[in-house]
Amino acid sequence: MTPRFDAIGLAVADMAASLAFYRMLGLDIPAEADTQPHAEATLPGGLRLMWDRAETPPPGGPGRMELAFLCDSPAEVDAAYAKLTDGGVRGSKAPWDAFWGQRYAVLLDPDGNNVALFAPLPG
């Protein structure tokens, strides 16, 4: 048997703030998870995203990793970025047409981790 990628874990300083951010991206996370030391959500395809409350910031500081969310179209990248930044989420890089053929944008979650929105460019 070969190990397979199954989950992504995030150490967070504020569980409620982190879960609220990921709910805005469409993840189904029960409200009672806001007060727990551990929470997780199963994503389409079976991958799990897990959060654990950290008493101290993880070594190396924020922004050491990036989660990427596929959007249906370049216009959805723009709309999602606008909705989230208008709602108070910190933007790191506004939407742009990347040389690798994607519309791409980067936000920061409440712990400073990079969260990308992307969609293939037409053509």
72, amino acid identity: D
**What percent of the chain clears pLDDT 90, i.e. is strictly above it?**
60
Residues 6+ apart with CB under 8 A from 42: 48
pTM, entire model:
0.73
Whole-number Å distance between alpha carbons of 119 and 76: 8
**What percent of the chain clears pLDDT 70, i.e. is strictly above it?**
89
Q: What is the pLDDT of residues 65-106, one digit of tens each?
A: 778 899 999 999 999 999 999 999 999 999 999 988 999 998
Place of tokens 């967070």: 12
pLDDT at 1 over 80: no
Average pLDDT over residues 48-53: 88
